[in-house]
Amino acid sequence: MDQAPFALTGGLVVHPLQPQVLYAAPGKEPVAVLPATELGGPTWVPVVQASPGWDRVLLPSRPNRATGWIYTGGTERSRLQIRRSSYLIRIQIGARKLSVDDGGRSLGTWTVAVGAAGTPTPAGRTFLLALLAPPRPTYSPLILPLGLHSNALSTFGGGPGTVGLHGWPDPSVFGHAISNGCVRVPAAALHLLSGIPLGTLVLITR
């Protein structure tokens, strides 16, 4: 489990070019496999801790805050892409605010809608998991799932209860706790978010 759920990272993100075994700790037993793709796109996950030859990453799975270690030594390094994202997305649940920074420079702050009392938006650090463009959009032209799941809903819309960022056609919802856990954002924020690299850290606070 993520032991520092509100800490920033150094911005490193990792993409497995093929499925990678995840370990409980460096040199310990394997516990899962990180797929090369998620939701039709490449899997990028943030590094939250590093040790020689190993990277600990956040996972897009239940329970929230799940982590695993990837071996990055020897020939395994050739099976990974590693880059750095300079972006940081912050969501303040109580203030109903979303902000985006790039290398410490603010790109904007918006009033958003967050989860209702019965279906709250989970707090903690997570990441941009995917960018989806529904062929026949209803409430949003783009949806950005996070590596995070609702603690109140085990499933939603046929999926596993994934929490995401998306637009909303009625701007009167912004500033309210009204959603099933997702964060509804204005069009300008959605446009900016759609250009941010997958794996970028999203820090959600109360």
Domain ranges within the chain, ordered by starting residue: 12-84, 87-205
CATH number of the 12-84 domain: 2.30.30
Name the residue among 106, 180, 102, 182 with its Cα closest to residue 142. 182
pLDDT at position 176 is 98
- The whole-model pTM stands at 0.96
User: What does the DSSP assignment read for 105-137?
Assistant: EEEEEEE-BEE-TTSPPPPEEEEB---B--SS-
- Please give the CATH topology (third level) of the domain spanning 87-205: L,D-transpeptidase catalytic domain-like (2.40.440)
pLDDT tens per residue, the chain (206 residues)? 999 999 999 999 999 999 999 999 999 999 999 999 999 999 999 999 999 999 999 999 999 999 999 999 887 778 999 999 999 999 999 999 999 999 999 999 999 999 999 999 999 999 999 999 999 999 999 999 999 999 999 888 778 899 999 999 999 999 999 999 999 999 999 999 999 999 999 999 99
